[in-house]
Amino acid sequence: MKRLIIGLIVFFGLICCLVSPAPVLLAEGGGITTDPMVKITTLPTKLDVKAVLAKVSDDVARDTGLDKNMVTYFWQTFDYIYCPGCGDAGIEGGVTFIDLYVPGFMTDEEIGKVMTSLALSLEKNAGINKKSLFIHTHVAEENRLYMMGEIITDWSQVGGPAKEPTPAGKSAP
């Protein structure tokens, strides 16, 4: 249930903003217990997308320490991409867009590991040149997310880390 709730946080929290330093949830053995969602958008393809995503999932779990069951992947297609500068940049077949949805308590370093692993895995398993990838991170943050009938003001409402208490005389950020 906790995984589902945090997954929904990320899915519905498509707020794009900067990641600020925050606590990180670590599983036993040092793995990250957060659950990003990954949306890959390409031109129509003849790839076995289900098989590719399974391999990408294995690679990202191995490379980042994320529990394989904590990341949701989905693939969609554009009808057409017009990219007049792609040829000059050496990008054949258009740009592949990846939206990475993460909770606000995931660190920049963790997000970077996920992005790098995604790029390497898609190049290896789908033949997509990593230079043709555009990965954009969407960050769900407290007070900018509505789910389960209320505004989420503290990650502990949905199984995440509790907000640090504000020292007396100071206002919360």
CB atoms within 10 A of CB 84: 6
CA contacts within 13 A on the Cβ side of 167: 1
Q: What are the pLDDT tens digits along the chain (173 aa)? A: 444 344 433 333 332 322 322 333 344 444 445 678 999 999 999 999 999 999 999 999 999 998 898 899 999 999 998 888 888 888 887 899 999 998 888 889 999 999 999 999 999 999 999 999 999 999 888 888 787 788 989 888 877 788 877 666 565 55
- Is 162 in contact with 154 (CB distance < 8 Å)? yes
Model pTM score: 0.71
CB atoms within 10 A of CB 124: 14
